Amino acid sequence: MVFSTRALVFSIFLSSLTVACYCKGLAAKVQKSSTATPALVPASFVFGDSLVDAGNNNYIRSLARANYPANGIDFPGHVPTGRFTNNRTVADIVGQLLGLPSFVPVFMNPTTKGKVILQGVNYASGGAGILDFTGYAFIHRIPMWQQIKNFQNTSQQIMQILGPSAGATLIKNSVFSITMGANDYLNNYLVVASPTPRLYNPQNFQNLLISTFKQQLLMLIESGACKFVISNVGALGCTPYCMTTNKTTGGTCVQSDNTLVSGFNTALKSLIDQLNRQFPRAKFILANAFDVLLSLRNNPATNGFSTVDQACCGVPIGPYHGLTPCFPRVAYCANRGQHLFWDPYHPTDAANVIIANRFFTGPPADIYPINIKALAALSMN
């Protein structure tokens, strides 16, 4: 579900997750909602990796980029934007469900300044992780610590535009969504020849991630954030890439990879509970990307998918097309609305629509302890 350095070993680019008619109707409903209803929150601030990167990596010298076809083939204008999917990310769709008037701009774009930042900013970066070292093979990426510093820069600008009181009110009533952790495994701990496994056993590495992530969340609280949507790590072992590199057959997931990230997800839920007890004036909710993705994979027909184990865009080698990212001139499928995965790591827009809606209005099994719509309704004044 994230761009992987191990894929570079297998490609020339060697160098963290509907029924077709239903999906289109749901997508149209989402598009309509962004203009037909008032915004539920003043702004959305997005942190994360390639699952929610909307183009920040276009502006840095990174090998983890998606600003080339066929990425964006279904985006308005049919142009690649830097999103690692055929259209929108989950963060884009959640923003529409929140009623924001347009997609929030990316921080690295020089035009992201002035009043445009008042509806939010996207800081996510393909290849990034909780740890600074994560994604090292991509040369450049924007880790979580730097993304937080970038938000603090935005916060200062908001205070200058609105004044300290109104600026603080905007920030504490805005949604802060964070999608981090997958790369710390896929592009760090699980990378062949990575030094990390020699320094940490799985439990110690998990502890390092959780303790570091906690400090990062505390820094955001200190910066005025109150409403948090934290996504856990998806089922990495069920991505076309991991199934390809581990040579599974019959669409079988890599259980060892799923077990590894499940431990992190369990610890992350405990952290969410701890932070909610510790900071009663803030609210943390956990988006269960792991189980939601598995439910789509295990119930394809119910969700409109005909293919759940093969990348729509990827070099057609092996049963899963999972060796390379969606490079230029790589073939891509025509029935994108029926594919769970766009490339070897990231979901299609069709999958993202379902995932976003389940996070927005779903039960605690999908989004814990309350959903995003309920979070948006909370007043932090």
Cα within 13 Å of Cα(171), Cβ side: 23
- Examine residue 256 and state whether it is found in any structural domain, yes or no: yes
- Does 343 qualify as catalytic in the annotation? yes
- Examine residue 331 and state whether it is found in any structural domain, yes or no: yes
Set 321, 346, 349, 366: catalytic member? 346
pLDDT tens for each residue of 92-129: 999 999 999 899 999 999 999 999 999 999 999 999 99
CATH of the domain at 66: 3.40.50.1110
- Examine residue 222 and state whether it is found in any structural domain, yes or no: yes
Q: Which of 218, 208, 215 is nearest to 184 (CA)?
A: 208
- Does 78 qualify as catalytic in the annotation? no
Q: What is the domain count for the chain?
A: 1
Surface-to-core class of residue 381, CB atoms within 10 Å of its CB (0-12 exposed, 13-18 middle, 19+ buried)? exposed
- Examine residue 1 and state whether it is found in any structural domain, yes or no: no
pLDDT tens for each residue of 41-100: 999 999 999 999 999 999 999 999 999 999 999 999 999 999 999 999 999 999 999 999
- Examine residue 243 and state whether it is found in any structural domain, yes or no: yes
Give the whole-angstrom CA distance, residue 104 versus residue 117.
Answer: 8
Band (36; pLDDT cuts 50, 70, 90): low
Set 184, 343, 349, 366: catalytic member? 343
- Asked whether residue 5 carries a pLDDT value surpassing 70, the answer given is no
- Asked whether residue 11 carries a pLDDT value surpassing 70, the answer given is no
User: Which pair of structure tokens corresponds to residue 8?
Assistant: 């570079």
pLDDT tens for each residue of 356-367: 999 999 999 999
Beta strands in 26-119 (DSSP E): 44-48
Whether the pTM exceeds 0.95: the reply is no
- Examine residue 162 and state whether it is found in any structural domain, yes or no: yes
- Collapsing DSSP states into helix, strand and coil, what is residue 231? strand
- Examine residue 253 and state whether it is found in any structural domain, yes or no: yes
Rounded-to-5 percentages of helix, strand, coil across the chain:
45, 10, 45
Give the whole-angstrom CA distance, residue 81 versus residue 98.
Answer: 22
Q: CB within 8 A of 107, min separation 6: which ones?
A: 56, 121, 122, 123, 147, 150, 153, 154
- The span from the first CA to the last CA of the chain, in angstroms, equals 37
Residues in the chain: 381
Q: Which amino acid is at 110?
A: P
- Examine residue 47 and state whether it is found in any structural domain, yes or no: yes
- Asked whether residue 212 carries a pLDDT value surpassing 50, the answer given is yes
73: domain range?
A: 6-377
Q: CB within 8 A of 179, min separation 6: which ones?
A: 16, 47, 48, 49, 51, 52, 90, 91, 124, 231, 289
The answer to whether residues 311 and 322 touch, using CB atoms and an 8 Å cutoff, is yes
Q: Could you tell me whether strands 175-179 and 44-48 are parallel, antiparallel, or unpaired per DSSP bridges? A: parallel
Set 50, 177, 194, 231: catalytic member? 50
For residues 205-228, give the mean pLDDT.
Answer: 98
